[in-house]
Structure 1
């Protein structure tokens, strides 16, 4: 079964290049394209892709940040991977807050982009190295400020275990296989974790896990 991808970018040559790269993969296909955020949301709701590859800046139309927030509210099951030229942690935190599952630079290697698409499709978060560094810096700043992280103790042992596996990038199916439970059980536990920690999106969950030291980085 192919990973169905929608490309949203305001440059025709970029859309064409990305389409050729993605369609060249045996497990992927481009099902549509959009030139701005408004069209991206409309096409995504119509075509129901697995992943939307969303440019952050698409003048003069709606930007990718606003479109991501609207799309995730309307269809949370569709994963969004932000593609941008901005290597700035301000953008990183804003797209994670909007609900995107990943953030990759346009200067990234082709193989890194393909890996990012596969990663978010599997239900995990994808962050390029410098973005991970920014999250670590945020964690250190929170520690220095003495921010309270008391919510963690309300999780059961099994919920803490699942939170750790989610943070490490395992998909629901992989977690189910590891713990010898059903995928539905994993989804139920994740929903309870989100509720107890007062989180709304997977990227927020990953950021929380990083702050708690559950995300082991190479």
Structure 2
């Protein structure tokens, strides 16, 4: 039996995440282990769950305000932050 592909879904639209989940649930080799609705949340979830692949929306809105001491950022900046700490991270966008 082959190893499961662990996926982190990232999109600011719940309906898009649900659509991806529905498509990917049809493949027994894929396990959706987490979802995120912002770039900041994606970075946090990535390092909490260590997925094999991230499916990321690049056009999530960027917010220049700070929340809980952290600046919120969009998809492209999230990928930069993840790849800075884990250059081998696999991202589909």
Q: TM-score per shorter chain, which class? A: 0.7 to 0.9
Question: Does residue 2 in structure 1 map to residue 13 in structure 2?
Answer: no
Deviation at 1:27, TM superposition (A): 1.0
Match of 1:20 in 2: 22
Give the alignment of 1:92-131 within 5 angstroms.
none
Higher relative contact order (CA 8 A, sep 6+): 2
Match of 2:57 in 1: 55
Match of 1:44 in 2: 46
Deviation at 1:8, TM superposition (A): 0.5
Per-residue CA deviation, residues 96-155 of structure 1 (Å, 9 max, x unaligned), is xxxxxxxxxxxxxxxxxxxxxxxxxxxxxxxxxxxxxxxxxxxxxxxxxxxxxxxxxxxx
Match of 2:75 in 1: 64
Number of matched pairs: 82
Question: Does residue 79 in structure 1 map to residue 81 in structure 2?
Answer: no
Is contact 1:31–1:47 with CA below 8 Å preserved after alignment?
yes
User: Which runs of 5 or more residues in structure 1 are unaligned?
Assistant: 83-218
Q: Give the Cα–Cα distance (whole angstroms) in 1 for the partners of residues 88 and 25 of structure 2.
A: 22
Give the alignment of 1:61-210 within 5 angstroms.
61-82=72-93
Match of 1:88 in 2: none
Deviation at 1:62, TM superposition (A): 1.4
Deviation at 1:34, TM superposition (A): 0.4
User: Which runs of 5 or more residues in structure 2 are unaligned?
Assistant: 64-71
Deviation at 1:24, TM superposition (A): 1.3
TM-score by length of 2: 0.82
Which consecutive aligned stretches of 4+ in structure 1 deviate over 3 angstroms post-superposition? none
Deviation at 1:20, TM superposition (A): 1.3
> Whose helix fraction is larger, Structure 1's or Structure 2's?
1
Match of 2:66 in 1: none
Match of 2:67 in 1: none
State which structure, 1 or 2, has the greater radius of gyration over its C-alpha atoms: 1
Q: Give the Cα–Cα distance (whole angstroms) in 1 for the partners of residues 56 and 12 of structure 2.
A: 10
RMSD: 1.1
Is contact 1:48–1:78 with CA below 8 Å preserved after alignment?
no
Q: Give the Cα–Cα distance (whole angstroms) in 1 for the partners of residues 91 and 60 of structure 2.
A: 16
